[in-house]
Structure 1
Amino acid sequence: MKRVFWMLATCLTILSGGQALAEEPAKILVTAKRLACAYSQGMNAVFTPQGRVSLKPPLDPNTPGLTIAITDRTKNRAVLEEDALETPGVLMVSPAGLSVMARYADGGVTMVTVYPVHAGASDNLLMVSSRHGAGSEPQVSQRYGFCRPGQETPLPAEPPAPPPAKKSGH
């Protein structure tokens, strides 16, 4: 009985157009202030001394994801948030998707593109993140995953006002 109820609730949500599914993916990318993204799979590639490319084992899909914070659409600014690392980047939005390109202090570059396409019947949008690392040997990785509109970071609460001073009654 629970299974039938769950299936009925799911169908009604889809048919009634739950908020996230009702929105067009392109509209989400044009209006979102934050996108929370998770990786599902990925690959690393390294160059051999002979100039060939060697693929390393697949990347761990349990790697923490990233968040794209749109900071200023008029100036095309965004921030890639990866754990404690926040890297400013350039925002590009077109009918093909939303992309952020960021350059790290070590000279490496990351390009994240979120496509205006839902993954199946979910409200997840398809995403790819490519990193071109700098250093003594070029390092390249490409991760695939999904993004969805994220919650804006709430401002810290203001501390409560101190209680009024008591008057002494001598």
Structure 2
Amino acid sequence: MLYGIRDTLDELQRWRAIARERGMSFAQAKITVEVGYIEVGLTDRTTLRKFSTVAEPRLWPSRFLNVRRMTAGLQSEVLHRFSKYVEEAKESVDINMARVSQIATRPDLFERLFQDDIDFQANLDILVIPVADSPDGRIRQLAFVRPGAKIVSIEQGSDEAEIILPAWMNDDSAEKSTV
């Protein structure tokens, strides 16, 4: 899902224009997900682990993390894992994968990060990730929403289409290991 006002407005404008050009309809929805308390400072591994000190997951102070709000050390850990994943897949390791900003070029690897890293897996419902997939090289932010995340509200922007979420998005019993 798109995250943040600027990225969302830019994308909505772009897709509305494409729909208009093609004579198609455009539907949108605003989905609000419970995230708990959002850390004011940057999040490091210790802070991430602190989220799970309460026995009941729904009472944890935060279920949300933005990659851009992680410490450089935690971002470097993510980059190291991504480099390892690429190497294990026998893909050519791009020289650019040596810079933290390049994790935005491989959003597909965040799913594996959730599966492999116990702190991400156990402590987060939403991870805002940078994605660099537009032809102009612009990086946008997307919210990676895990199964079982608590959806608070859905506001549909059009009555011309019905928006139906996948069952895993509102199933409290969904396995956290499934992404």
With the shorter chain as reference, the TM-score category is under 0.3
TM-score by length of 2: 0.23
TM-score by length of 1: 0.24
The structure with higher relative contact order (CA 8 Å, sep 6+) is 2
The structure that has the greater radius of gyration is 1
